[in-house]
Amino acid sequence: MTAATGGFGPLLPEERADAATLVRQGFGIPREYFDRSVELFGSGVMRGLRAGPEAGRAGQLVACAAVWPMDQWFGGRPVPSCGVAAVAVDPGERGRGYGSALMRGLLEEARAGGAALSVLYPATLPLYTRLGFGRGGVSFDWSAPPAALSAGPPPADGWIRRTDTSDASQLAALRRSLLATANGPVERNEGLWSFALCPDGVPSDVYTLGGAAGPEGYVAVAPPADRKLNVADLCLLSPRAVRLAQSFLAGYRAQIDRVTWRGGPDDPLVLMAPERGVRADACDEWLLRILDLPRALESRGYPPGVAGELTLEVADALIPENSGSFRLRVSEGRASVRPLPRALDGAEKAGGKTDEAALSLSITALASLYSGHKGPYVLRQVGLLRGGEDAVALAARFFSGPAPWMPDRF
Ligand SMILES: CC(C)(COP(=O)(O)OP(=O)(O)OC[C@H]1O[C@@H](n2cnc3c(N)ncnc32)[C@H](O)[C@@H]1OP(=O)(O)O)[C@@H](O)C(=O)NCCC(=O)NCCS
């Protein structure tokens, strides 16, 4: 259903209380938490959608969301992205198309502002897949008894020091190495740093881990409660940092029954746990929307030593500029993209023969391929991608790399 809308745009100061109610009804978030989040991210992040003249409540706020620019890292390079959170529609107005209209407004604005991607955690899939979002990566909630993490005494050549977090730049510098070697994590702004280090508004204590040459990681822990220790944030860049974190967390074993933390599928603490007992308590999938296809493909990095050319035949019902044939050329870790004239469109050539050098897929499937969350073989197996053996094999090499994940939730 298409809603008659009275305008999408920045949330007006006089609409803030109504937006807080929408968010409370959407997510159970209390007013104080809403206000704190808006202050942290800046009041400019909120967008609103008002009912149109036909609705009987013309001009009134019916939907809102938060949106902010940030870089998201893929293949060792930052890609301009747009985070979306707190998408909420008035409970009395749901199912009338307002949610879709709000999202279309957000995506158009983000693309016009230079974002190549948009990323969000969905509460429901159909709304977003219809708008071209695809499965982008994961975020795990891991937990373990502290003894399961214990790998013996801390390494003699390492140190653990409590760190003042009033200036997050030292942590950001450490985290930069993680961004450069992983797929999916986002560069944090002040709001995301605050969410990471003060989950639920409770400040955590940060301990930096290192050796003779300097810091090699950090662990941020909330005060233990209910026999549980919540690791609010974690960055382990070396084998020594992993060993130091293991012994640090195992040191809580008399006080707690479980340690919890967020990570990816290849989490260092999971990989190096010497004993059974580590468990994935939850795995949330985040969604990715390619807003500007050439910009997204040209901004990310690619594995060194991989070179070649592919034709991508892409269908995007919402953003016509992303539809059509594109020549993707990869060499020396970078890509260039050239739109092809319509006459050369189509992976399917005359006589039903498949062009060996072409892949045909929707913008939704391209998001999963782009992030590395799903490879071309499985996408083809389930019918989300068409292409010959050579093209699929080449795409598998272009988009290979660490499984995409991010610790941040929004
Ligand atoms: C999810 C939500 C934003 C959808 O807004 P909406 O205005 O109802 O959405 P639309 O009318 O544009 O419908 C688009 C699609 O969303 C889905 N949808 C509609 N109402 C929904 C509901 N109440 N709950 C979940 N999904 C819903 C449907 O798939 C719908 O497609 P369909 O009409 O073909 O079935 C709204 O239900 C809401 O505010 N929910 C609570 C907060 C929330 O979960 N937000 C999403 C966080 S990512």
Mean pLDDT computed over 245-271: 97
pLDDT of amino acid 348? 46
pLDDT of amino acid 284? 97
Distance CA 346, CA 323 (A): 11
pLDDT digits (tens, 9 = 90+) for 64-97: 999 999 999 999 999 999 999 999 999 999 999 9
Q: How far is the CA of 363 from the centre of ligand 1 (A)?
A: 21
Distance CA 204, CA 214 (A): 22
Q: How far is the CA of 97 from the centre of ligand 1 (A)?
A: 8
Dihedral (CA of 151, 155, 159, 165) sign: negative
- For ligand 1, atom 27, which residue shows the shortest CA distance? 95
Supply φ then ψ for residue 192, to 5 degrees. Answer: -70, -35
Q: Report whether residue 96 contacts ligand 1, using a CB cutoff of 6 Å.
A: yes
Average pLDDT value for the chain: 94
pLDDT digits (tens, 9 = 90+) for 14-42: 999 999 999 999 999 999 999 999 999 99
Q: What percent of the chain has pLDDT over 90?
A: 89
Distance CA 331, CA 314 (A): 22
Task: From 149, 122, 151, select the one nearest 135 (Cα to Cα).
Answer: 122
Q: Report whether residue 103 contacts ligand 1, using a CB cutoff of 6 Å.
A: no
Q: How far is the CA of 124 from the centre of ligand 1 (A)?
A: 7
Q: How far is the CA of 98 from the centre of ligand 1 (A)?
A: 8
Sheet order of strands, 324-331 included: 334-339, 324-331, 308-315, 358-362, 385-387
pLDDT of amino acid 355? 61
Among 160-174, 343-357, 361-375, the range scoring the smallest mean pLDDT is: 343-357
Among 38-42, 207-211, 366-370, the range scoring the smallest mean pLDDT is: 38-42
Distance CA 399, CA 359 (A): 13
Mean pLDDT computed over 217-236: 96
Q: Predicted confidence band at 215 (pLDDT cuts at 50, 70, 90)?
A: very high
Which of 89, 100, 288 to mutate for ligand 1's pocket (most ligand atoms within 8 Å of CB)? 89
Q: How far is the CA of 133 from the centre of ligand 1 (A)?
A: 15
125 pLDDT higher than 60 = yes
Q: What percent of the chain has pLDDT over 70?
A: 95
Dihedral (CA of 173, 174, 177, 183) sign: negative
Q: Predicted confidence band at 150 (pLDDT cuts at 50, 70, 90)?
A: confident
pLDDT of amino acid 115? 98
In order of their start, the domains of the chain are 5-115 (3.40.630.30), 146-276 (3.40.630.30), 293-398 (3.30.1050.10)
Q: Predicted confidence band at 357 (pLDDT cuts at 50, 70, 90)?
A: confident
Q: Report whether residue 89 contacts ligand 1, using a CB cutoff of 6 Å.
A: yes
Cβ atoms of 229 and 260 within 8 Å: the answer is: yes
pLDDT of amino acid 94? 96
Mean pLDDT computed over 350-364: 74
327 pLDDT higher than 70 = yes
Q: Predicted confidence band at 167 (pLDDT cuts at 50, 70, 90)?
A: confident
Q: Predicted confidence band at 352 (pLDDT cuts at 50, 70, 90)?
A: very low
pLDDT digits (tens, 9 = 90+) for 52-67: 887 788 899 999 999 9
Q: Predicted confidence band at 347 (pLDDT cuts at 50, 70, 90)?
A: very low
pLDDT of amino acid 309? 96
Q: What is the pTM of this model?
A: 0.94
Q: Predicted confidence band at 201 (pLDDT cuts at 50, 70, 90)?
A: confident
pLDDT of amino acid 351? 47
The full DSSP string for 190-250 is: HHHHHHHHSGGGPPPEEEEEEETTEEEEEEEEPPPBTTEEEEEEEEE-SHHHHHHHHHHHH
Q: How many CB atoms lie within 10 A of CB 78?
A: 17
Q: Report whether residue 123 contacts ligand 1, using a CB cutoff of 6 Å.
A: yes
Q: Report whether residue 83 contacts ligand 1, using a CB cutoff of 6 Å.
A: no
Among 315-329, 331-345, 380-394, the range scoring the smallest mean pLDDT is: 331-345
Cα angle for residues 303, 304, 307 (degrees, 5° grid):
85
Q: How far is the CA of 99 from the centre of ligand 1 (A)?
A: 6
Q: How far is the CA of 95 from the centre of ligand 1 (A)?
A: 6
Q: Report whether residue 97 contacts ligand 1, using a CB cutoff of 6 Å.
A: yes
Q: Predicted confidence band at 5 (pLDDT cuts at 50, 70, 90)?
A: low
Q: How far is the CA of 22 from the centre of ligand 1 (A)?
A: 13
- For ligand 1, atom 16, which residue shows the shortest CA distance? 127
pLDDT of amino acid 176? 95
pLDDT digits (tens, 9 = 90+) for 290-321: 999 999 999 999 999 999 999 999 999 999 99
Atom of ligand 1 nearest to the CA of 121: 48
- For ligand 1, atom 20, which residue shows the shortest CA distance? 95
Q: How far is the CA of 127 from the centre of ligand 1 (A)?
A: 6
Q: Report whether residue 404 contacts ligand 1, using a CB cutoff of 6 Å.
A: no
